[in-house]
Structure 1
Amino acid sequence: MLVHGIGRSLEDWQDAQDRLATTFRVVNVDLPGFGLTPKLRAKPGLPTFARAVVGVLDALGEHRPVHLMGNSLGGAVAMTVATTWPDRVASLVLVNSAGFGREANLPLRPMLYGVLSVLPVVGARFRPLAKEAGLRLNQALFADPAFATDERVRHAAKVGRQPDFRATFVGTLLSLGLPVVGSRAGWRRALLAAVVSAGKPALVVWGDRDTVLPVKHFHAAVAALPGVRSHLFPDTGHMPQIERVEEFTALAADFVTGVAVP
C-alpha cells in the first residue's frame, strides 16, 4: 500500500505502482483532503489519515497484513498505522519519511500565493506569482529539476485548487507543530517509541539532496530503528520513488519479498 506526502497525491507513486504491480497487488491512495479526494469530518492529522488508510483496506476486503510504503508525511502515516493496528501491517518502507527530525522546509509561500490568486479583485495580480512559485516548488522536490514536468506541475496546481486542500494542508501543519516551531518533538518521540516496540521489519530510503527533509533525518532513522535496512540514493531529492524509480522498486520488491508474512 502506497501513501503520499503532505499536499501531494497518489500520482507521486504512479510510476512505482506500475512496476510493483507486475508482481504484487498494489493499493495506491489519496489521503483525505489531498489529491482529488474530499476531506473527512475529523481534523486532519496522523490519526485521521491512519484511520483512512485502514478504512480503504476494509472497503477493499483486504485484511491480510500489508507492506506499507510512505513518502514524507506518508511515512509517518504508515508508522501510525503499524503501531495502532499492528496486525494489519507486515512491514514498513519509509521513503524520506517525516518523523525523524524537526526541520521541514514546506511550501508556505506557494500556498500563500495560491490563496491570494483566487481572491476577487486582487487575485489576478497574484496568479503569475502563484504559477511561478508552483513551478519552483515542484522543481525543489528533485535533485534534477527536469522531473518537474509540465504534467506534474499542472497536476499539482489542480490538487491545490481542490476545495478541501487549503484547510487540510493548514490543519495538518498545525497538528504536527509546523511551521511555528518545526516538527514537534512530542509526537515524534511517542511515534518512534511505538514503532520500535512494534518491531516491524523496516526499510528506510532517502535522497541525499533532499531539501525538504534533510539527509540527517535519514541517519537519525537508521540510528533509531533496530535492525532496519537502509539505502541512501546519490544525487536524489525528496522523491526517490520518482527520481530513481527503477532502482527504488527493485530495492523495495527485494525487501518485501524477504519479509515473512503470517
Structure 2
Amino acid sequence: MAEVRVGELTVNVQRMSAAGPSAAGPPPLVVLVHGLLIDSLASYYFSLGPAFAERGMDVLMYDLRGHGRTSRPATGYRLEDFVADLDGLLDALGEERPAHVVGNSFGGAIAYGLAATRPDRVRSVIAIESEPPVKSWARKMAEGLTGEEGGLVVKEVRAWLAEDPERNARPFQLAGRILDTTTLGEDIPRSRVLDDGLADIRCPVLALYGADSKLAAQAGHLASTLAHCRTVVLSDQGHSVLVERTRETAELLLEWLEDDIHAPVKGAR
C-alpha cells in the first residue's frame, strides 16, 4: 500500500499491476471505488482486484475520505468532494489513461459524477447496486443518513447484524464513528446533483443490480435514457451483490471489459 497526498488528504492507495506484458501498448486502467461507511478498498482487494489484474488490467483501489486508512477531515463530504478526490488522485499519480471506473453502491455515484464532470478521464462506468446522483438520489441519501437513530442506512445495518450475531460488528462501529465525528450525514444530501436527463454521462455504462434490491427498479429507465447502457439484474439477490455474488460479478464485468483488455489506450488528455 502507498500514501498519496491529494489536497488536504492523505489517501491510502493499493495498486495491482497487469499480469504479463502487453504487445498492444499500456494495459487498460480500472479504478475500483468502494461504498459508504461500512466499506473500504479491502472489499475489492479480496474480490475483483486480483481477477482484473490476472486478465491484463492495471487496478487502482483507494480508501475514500473518512474511510479506511485515508485521513478523516471533520467536514467536506459532499459528492463533489469525493469526485474531486478521485480526479486529484489520478493527477497525483500522473495517470493519463481514461479509466474504467467501477463503483459499488455510493462508489457508483462517484463514478457517475466523475464521468459527468471529467468525461476525458472516464472510459466507462460500471455501477454495482448504485444509481446516478440525481435529485431522487439526494432525497434517498437524506432519508438514509439523517433522522431518528441515524436514518434508514443505520437501521438496515443494525437489522443485518441482528440476523447473524456472529457477524463482525467492527465495520458498523467504524461507520458510527464516521457519522459522529464528521459532517458526512449532513453533507451528502446537500451534494450538487446531475440533471435528471443524465445528459452529461456519455460514456458506456454497465449497471448491475440484485432483483430484490430497491435499486433494481431503475434498470429500465437507465437503459432507455443513457445512450450506451447495459443493465443486468441478478435474480434472488439483494443489495450485497459484490459480497454474495463475487464470482458472477467478476465474470460479468470481465466480459464487459474484454474488448479493451488487449487494445491500446487511446486517450491521454
In the superposition, the TM-score normalised over structure 2's length comes to: 0.70
- Name 1:61's counterpart in structure 2: 94
Cα 1:110–1:163 change in 2 (3 A) is: closer
Does 1:7 pair with 2:37? Answer: yes
- Name 2:184's counterpart in structure 1: 168
Does 1:98 pair with 2:101? Answer: no
- Name 1:208's counterpart in structure 2: 211
Q: Deviations 1:43-96 (Å, cap 9, x if unpaired)? A: 322221111012222233322111101122221211121222222111110112
Cα 1:200–1:21 change in 2 (3 A) is: same
The SS at the match of 1:229 is strand
Cα 1:70–1:161 change in 2 (3 A) is: same
For 2:251 and 2:120, the matched residues in 1 are separated by 26
What is the deviation of 1:138?
Answer: 5.6
* Structure 2: runs of 5 or more not aligned: 1-30
For 1:35 and 1:42, the matched residues in 2 are separated by 17
For 2:195 and 2:81, the matched residues in 1 are separated by 19
- How well do the aligned residues superpose, as a CA RMSD in angstroms? 3.1
Please identify which structure carries the higher strand content: 2
Percentage of pairs with the same residue: 27
* Structure 1: runs of 5 or more not aligned: 113-129, 140-144, 177-186
For 1:94 and 1:251, the matched residues in 2 are separated by 12
Aligned length: 223
Does 1:189 pair with 2:189? Answer: no
Q: Which amino acid aligns with 1:13?
A: Y
Alignment of structure 1 residues 1-262 onto 2, 5 Å: 1-10=31-40, 11-14=42-45, 15-23=47-55, 24-40=57-73, 43-99=76-132, 102=136, 104=140, 106=144, 108=146, 111=150, 134-137=157-160, 150-151=167-168, 153-162=169-178, 166-175=182-191, 187-189=193-195, 192-195=198-201, 199-211=202-214, 214-259=215-260, 261-262=265-266
For 1:207 and 1:138, the matched residues in 2 are separated by 20
- Name 2:21's counterpart in structure 1: none
Contact kept in structure 1, 2:36 and 2:105, CA below 8 Å: yes
Contact kept in structure 2, 1:160 and 1:166, CA below 8 Å: no
What is the deviation of 1:170?
Answer: 2.4
What is the deviation of 1:235?
Answer: 1.3
The SS at the match of 1:160 is helix
Cα 1:12–1:110 change in 2 (3 A) is: farther
For 1:30 and 1:228, the matched residues in 2 are separated by 27
For 1:46 and 1:91, the matched residues in 2 are separated by 19
What is the deviation of 1:36?
Answer: 4.3
Please identify which structure carries the higher helix content: 1
Q: Deviations 1:157-199 (Å, cap 9, x if unpaired)? A: 22432487542232113336xxxxxxxxxx242571111xxx2
Cα 1:234–1:149 change in 2 (3 A) is: farther
Q: Which amino acid aligns with 2:248?
A: E
For 2:180 and 2:122, the matched residues in 1 are separated by 29
For 2:150 and 2:251, the matched residues in 1 are separated by 35
The SS at the match of 1:26 is strand
